[in-house]
Amino acid sequence: MLLPSVLRTVVPMLAGWIITVLAGLGLHADSTAVAGGLALAVAAAYYLLFRLVERTVEKLGGPAWVRTAAGLLLGYARPPRYESTDDVQALVRASRG
């Protein structure tokens, strides 16, 4: 489940950056656009690093405090959990509860 969480974080940031760069209808990239791209790369690397720490500690049975610390550095102490289901009604109920 690591790839979906990475994609759900990085893809919107990347799309937002591309839209910002192209918003003026000029297809040039100035220093602000480059700085935005660099910020995106740093944010993605930060997220990936701590998400990998979380996942590795979980898989290898490492100390729980390391996983908690990595999660807190991502903004929430527990990693995301996704259920696989084709029942749309169940997904809607779960999102409201």
What end-to-end distance do the CA atoms of the chain give, in Å? 22
One digit per residue, pLDDT tens: the chain, 97 residues?
Answer: 577 777 777 777 777 677 666 665 555 666 777 777 777 777 888 888 888 998 899 899 999 999 888 888 877 777 777 667 677 777 777 777 6
> Across the chain, how many H-helices and E-strands are there?
4, 0
In the chain, where are the structural domains located? 2-96
pLDDT of res. 85: 66
Q: At what angle do helices 64-73 and 31-60 cross, to 10 degrees?
A: 160
Identify the pLDDT of residue 23.
65
User: At a CB cut-off of 8 Å and minimum separation 6, what does 68 contact?
Assistant: 77
Indicate whether this model's pTM tops 0.75.
no
pLDDT at 28 (0 to 100): 60
Residue 2 CA neighbour count, 13 Å, CB half: 12
